[in-house]
């Protein structure tokens, strides 16, 4: 297993929780993005498309089992989360072109809050900003959102969420949980 190492020698992983997109949906979003004819930014590889729930950053590798155990005991929504990604936006500070929902379901906010509460006792840093669900299409993007020939309308019907590691530009799943309690 490849791991990064801190200057102290302790191995760590760059982690985040996310909703993955099914392969057919990743292809559809990638095709829609191609039709935008982007000439700026660095496109995110379609295999990395996801909706971030909670970014954890650099976490000691030894904490991963405790992190997974904490989420195992978490109350989950009890049903799939349906999210409509229908707004193309530029996040200027982050330099990102993103798809966002016009409306964030309460069940998604509750899931994110539950994850935040589960990681706090582990000493993993709390997010200081409001949660904004999004799918990143391109990084290092400047300027206005491009005109789309067809408005974005991507329905994500998430039945599971996962813990992912960011490793050299690839997102590798480490664990997965159903959104229902069963």
C-alpha distances in Å from residue 106, one per residue of 77, 91, 112, 152, 158? 10, 23, 10, 22, 14
Give the whole-angstrom CA distance, residue 32 versus residue 26.
10
Residue 182: predicted pLDDT: 53
pLDDT tens digit sequence for 128-171 = 678 999 999 999 998 888 888 888 999 999 999 999 999 888 89
Q: Which residues are catalytic?
A: 50, 134
Give the whole-angstrom CA distance, residue 71 versus residue 56.
14
φ/ψ of residue 23, rounded to 5: -55, -45
pTM over 0.85: yes
Residue 161: predicted pLDDT: 97
Domains within the chain, CATH numbers bracketed: 4-178 (3.90.1140.10)
pLDDT tens digit sequence for 106-120 = 999 999 999 999 999
Average pLDDT, the chain: 89
């Amino acid at each position: 297993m490849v791991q990064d190492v801190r200057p102290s020698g302790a191995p760590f992983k760059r982690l985040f929780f996310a909703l993955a997109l099914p392969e057919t949906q990743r292809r559809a979003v990638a095709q829609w993005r191609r039709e935008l004819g982007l000439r700026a930014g660095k496109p995110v590889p379609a295999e990395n498309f996801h909706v971030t729930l909670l970014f954890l950053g650099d976490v000691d590798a030894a904490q991963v089992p405790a992190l997974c155990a904490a989420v195992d005991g978490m109350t989950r929504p009890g049903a799939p989360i349906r999210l409509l990604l229908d707004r193309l936006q530029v996040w200027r500070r982050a330099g990102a072109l993103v798809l966002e929902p016009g409306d964030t379901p309460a069940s998604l906010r509750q899931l994110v809050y539950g994850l935040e509460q589960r990681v706090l006792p582990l000493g993993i840093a709390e997010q200081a900003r409001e949660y904004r669900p999004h799918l990143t299409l391109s990084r290092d993007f400047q300027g206005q959102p491009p005109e789309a020939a067809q408005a974005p309308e991507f329905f994500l019907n998430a039945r599971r969420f996962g813990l992912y590691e960011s490793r050299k530009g690839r997102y590798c799943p480490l664990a997965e949980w159903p959104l229902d309690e069963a």
